[in-house]
Amino acid sequence: MKMICVDRSKCNGCGACQTICSLTKKGSIHPTESRMQLRRTGGVQLQYTTYCQHCADPACLKACLKTIIRKEGELVVRNFEGCFACSACAVACPMGAVVYDSGVDAYLTCDQCGGDPLCVKICPTGALSFAEPAQSSVERRSSYAEKRQDPKEVL
């Protein structure tokens, strides 16, 4: 299954992914309610993106009090019309990928834009890709290895 993959070495923290996500999903720019979150810890030096990983055994699905979260193939799907915003799924998510959307009064996650994620298209540095996770990992490791001059510096 293809997923959104992040090359942290290319991410500059610009927030374009959050902006396009909220603009597309909400119709206006609300980065805090974007399904793709850019998290900063200790300033811009420590940053990472958070979004639904469509877990094989989703904790959010088990925690949902209304049973409106389900697996459809490889994807975690939500029927947000039935959500009563209890936040159980958000608390249970180990990735911190569940966000509250005030427009629909529900907790939501990344749906990968139906297989054509706009965040990947708009990322100015190419930090985001839509690929098989294993392939993306191989490409990142190869790129990293090529950049290393001294094998002693790897760790």
> Is the model's pLDDT at 140 over the cut of 90?
no
Q: What is the DSSP string of the chain?
A: --EEEE-TTT-----HHHHHHHHHHHSS--GGG-SSEEEESSSTTSEEEE-----SS-HHHHH-TT--EEEETTEEEE-GGG-----HHHHH-TT---EEETTTTEEE---GGGG--HHHHH-TTS-EEEE-HHHHHHHHHHHHHHH-S-GGG--
The tokens for 25 are 């999903």
Q: What is the pLDDT of residue 155?
A: 47
CA 15/CA 87 separation, integer angstroms = 25
Q: What is the pLDDT of residue 45?
A: 62
Q: Name the least confident of 20-24, 54-58, 113-117, 151-155.
A: 151-155
Q: Tell me the pLDDT tens digit for each residue of 112-124.
A: 999 999 999 999 9
Q: Tell me the pLDDT tens digit for each residue of 8-34.
A: 888 888 999 999 999 999 999 999 999
Average pLDDT over residues 66-86: 93
